A = this chain, B = another copy of it.
Amino acid sequence: MTANVAILGASGYTGAELVRLIATHPGIRITALSADRKAGQQMADVFPHLRHLDLPVLATIEEVDFSKIDLVFCALPHGLSQALVKGLPRSVKVVDLGADFRLRDPAAYEKWYGAPHVAKELQAEAVYGLTEFYRDDIAKARLVAGTGCNAATVQFALRPLITAGLIDLDEIICDLKNGISGAGRSLKENMLFTERSEDVAGYSQGGKHRHLGEFDQEFSVLAGRPVQIVFTPHLVPVNRGILATCYLKGDSKAIHAALTDRYAAEPFIVVLPYGQVPAMSHVQGSNFAHIGVTGDRIPGRALVVSTLDNLNKGSSGQALQNANLMLGFEETAGLMAPPVFP
Contact = CB atoms under 8 A, between A and B. Distances in A.
Given A20-B340, A49-B339, A285-B285, A277 B205 contact: yes
Nearest to A242: B200
A258 interface: no
Nearest to A196: B193
Given A187-B189, A236-B237, A279-B201, A342 B181 contact: yes
Interface stretch (A71-79, A84-92, A114-122, A289-297): A289-297
Contacts of A277: 201-203, 205
A195 interface: yes
A212 B297 CA distance: 10
A298 B187 CA distance: 32
Contacts of A173: 173, 247
Contacts of A101: none
B338 A49 contact: yes
Contact of A279 (B48, B185, B275, B298): B48
A52 interface: yes
Q: Copies of this chain, how many?
A: 4
Interface residues of A, number: 88
A68 interface: no
A205 B247 CA distance: 11
A177 interface: yes
A24 interface: yes
A166 interface: no
7 contacts: A13-B342, A52-B267, A187-B187, A194-B239, A205-B277, A228-B297, A247-B247
Interface of A: 13, 16, 19-20, 23-24, 47-53, 171, 173, 175, 177, 180-181, 183, 185, 187-189, 191-203, 205-208, 212, 228, 230, 232, 234, 236-241, 243, 245, 247, 267-268, 270, 272, 275, 277-286, 288, 290, 294-298, 301, 303, 305, 307, 336-342
Instruction: In the A-B complex, list the 8 residue pairs whose CB atoms are closest, starting with the nearest.
Output: A207-B297, A201-B279, A199-B281, A194-B342, A193-B196, A49-B339, A175-B175, A49-B282
